[in-house]
Structures are given as structure tokens and as C-alpha cells.
Amino acid sequence: MAVALYDAETDLLDDARLIGSELATNAFTSGSPPLVLCIDRRGPSTDGLAIEITLTDGGCSCPGPASPPAPDEEAESGRGLAIVEALADAWSLTTGTRGTRAWCRLTRGAGPSSADT
């Protein structure tokens, strides 16, 4: 992931790593093989930098939540989708017995251009 996000802002790289880790952990514990993680970088442009993270797996028999459930305060797990929702600018989860797809987008605004300095 660090190679795909070379020279990205540290906070964006940290958020992308955390989201990728959470999505992969969810797929590993709840899904089935194969697990595929894709990172798509768009930018920088006048609109800034956008990172899309998609993780697919072979599916599961349990339906995915429409929104992240609130974890029990004492629970040691169950916060992954809440973390994704908090950090991502947009996200979705589609589950099924033939495949599961988790997707999110992180964006960062464009910095000042050389004409602005």
C-alpha cells in the first residue's frame, strides 16, 4: 500500500493503512477466499488526491449491516466498519453468498499551487 501511496500526506497514508487493515481483517474473519485488495490513486489534480480502496472476497452467508453496529464497550472487536465510516469520505458494503465487496474513498483537498505562493 505504501508504494501505491508514495508521497501522499502522512495522515492520508495512515488512514488508508488503517482502513485497508480493517477491511482485510473483516474479510479474513467473516468471508471466504479469495481475498483481493485493490488501491486506486487518482490525482493529485486541482480537486486534490483521491484514494479508493476495494476489498473483495468469496462471500459469506451472513448479510452485511446497512450501517456499522455500535460495539459493546468491553468488546475486543467489532469496530472495523465504524472506523471505516469515520475515516472515509464515502464507503459501501455489499455482501452475498457469491462475493462480498467493501469499498471506500478518501480524499484530500489540493494544496496551494505554485501560482498561489
Domain membership flag for residue 115: no
Over the range 39-68, which residues count as b (16 or more CB within 10 Å of their CB) and which as e?
A: beeeeeeeeebbbbbbbbbebbeeebeeeb
In the block, residue with C-alpha cell 505562493: 117
Cross-strand pairs, 102: 55, 93
Domain membership flag for residue 116: no
For the chain, the average pLDDT equals 79
Where in the sequence is the domain holding 47, given as residue range(s)? 10-66+77-109
What are the helix (H) ranges across the chain? Answer: 10-30, 80-87
Q: Note whether 95 and 64 are within 8 A (CB).
A: yes
At 98, is the pLDDT very low, low, confident or very high (cuts 50, 70, 90)? Answer: confident
Give this prediction's pTM: 0.75
Is the omega angle on the peptide bond into residue 44 within 30 degrees of 0, that is, cis? yes
Number of structural domains found in the chain: 1
Domain harbouring 43, CATH code: 3.30.565.10
Domain membership flag for residue 1: no
pLDDT, one tens digit per residue, over 36-74 is: 999 998 876 556 788 899 999 998 766 665 556 666 666
Domain membership flag for residue 71: no
Domain membership flag for residue 114: no
Domain membership flag for residue 3: no
Name residue 17's amino acid.
R
